[in-house]
Structure 1
Amino acid sequence: MPREQMRTNTMIQLRPLTAEDAATIENWPKYPAEFDDLDYALRQDGWLAEFQDWPNTWRFSAEQSGELIAFIILATTAVGEAEFRIALRPDKTGQGLGRIITSQTMEKGFGEIDLTRIHLIVRKNNPRAIQLYHRLGFTLRGECHKDVNQKPTHFLIMDLQQDDYLAARAIAKTRR
């Protein structure tokens, strides 16, 4: 890992999401046009409200230098399994922070929470996210279609198994 990346990584902290964080997130600026379809996730009836009362759901805030830059959700879908969702503050996209935060979340999910599988859906028209998830070890498992804000939306289904994550992490440690 390059030294600059290591400094950025240590500056990002995951912590439990608070009610104050949720209020702040709802007031984040809109995403740029390229990500306009994702903006609903940040708003009053978005992901935070959707997953607020789900049992066995972990909601995290990501802070960089004391500043809220993202939120993450791991929502239990079966015993030992959770769905992963992440939303970066609009002005923080494209800076490599998604990779760092996703990696830290996988560490929490597979390490602290002891999940055996983490899965996600990603929009087919979001090649940067798809490439990121592939680089982190997620495997393509299929496709699905859902209505989002009354619009048909096409997604890829991806997952990462705990064994694969731990094996890749062990290999990465030996290369350092």
Structure 2
Amino acid sequence: MLYKFTNMTQEQAEDISFNWHYDGEYSFYDMEADKEDLEEFLDPEQRGNSTFAVTKENELVAFFSVSKIADGTLEIGLGMRPDLTGQGCGLEFLKEGLNFVEFRYKPNKITLSVATFNQRAIKVYRKVGFTDVKTFMQNTNGSTFEFLKMQYEC
């Protein structure tokens, strides 16, 4: 395993929240872009034991969060450090993240939601076996955006 998943510390949450800034349209994913998301990410109680810092060779490279929905279904959220995006690292990271979640939680299904403009991520999700479920509109970052809900059968 190249990536190590550990419970996120406050220092790591603050690093991601205030120092990770994405270029162009991907700035949509900056933690500071949505006040509610930022507050949730920075609150240790809300992060609980379900938000993980992902390190590679002891360097923080990503985060991975897990929420239980129902009936053995988990929802995940994830992000890579901005300087690592678009370099072909996503597939390996996602595969290891799914292995981690399947081993730790033993879900039947894993879902995620992604902004539809993010074709780069959608391509990676489909490559590992996620399928499209539906599109929906969501209020976030001060406006309304289209998202794609995707699902992975374990």
Q: Under TM normalisation by the shorter chain, which class is it?
A: 0.7 to 0.9
| Alpha carbons of structure 1 residues 24 and 53: separation in structure 2 relative to 1, 3 Å | same
Q: Percent identity?
A: 26
**Alignment partner for residue 32 of structure 1, among 23, 44, 51?**
23
2: CA distance, partners of 1:50 / 1:35: 24
Contact kept? 1:81, 1:118, Cα under 8 Å: yes
What are the ranges of 5 or more consecutive residues in structure 2 without an aligned counterpart?
Answer: none
Identify which of structures 1 and 2 has the higher relative contact order when contacts are C-alpha pairs closer than 8 Å and 6+ apart.
Answer: 2
2: CA distance, partners of 1:152 / 1:34: 15
Indicate whether 1:156 and 2:148 are aligned.
yes
User: What is the aligned partner in structure 1 of residue 139 from structure 2?
Assistant: 147
Contact kept? 2:51, 2:65, Cα under 8 Å: yes
Q: Following TM superposition, by how much is the alpha carbon of 1:20 offset from its aligned partner in structure 2, in angstroms? A: 1.9
**Alignment partner for residue 48 of structure 1, among 29, 41, 57?**
41
> What is the TM-score when the length of structure 1 is the normalising length?
0.76
Q: Following TM superposition, by how much is the alpha carbon of 1:41 offset from its aligned partner in structure 2, in angstroms? A: 6.3
Deviations 1:58-101 (A, max 9, x none): 21111122110111101111142111111111111112222222
**Alignment partner for residue 5 of structure 2, among 14, 18, 39?**
14
What code does the residue aligned with 1:110 have?
E
Secondary structure of the residue aligned to 2:50 is strand
The CA RMSD over aligned residues, in Å, is 2.3
Alignment of 1:1-176 (within 5 A): 10-40=1-31, 45-46=37-38, 48-49=41-42, 52-53=45-46, 58-162=50-154
User: What is the aligned partner in structure 2 of residue 166 from structure 1?
Assistant: none
| Alpha carbons of structure 1 residues 88 and 59: separation in structure 2 relative to 1, 3 Å | same
> What is the TM-score when the length of structure 2 is the normalising length?
0.86
Structure with max Cα Rg: 1
Secondary structure of the residue aligned to 2:21 is coil
Aligned length: 152
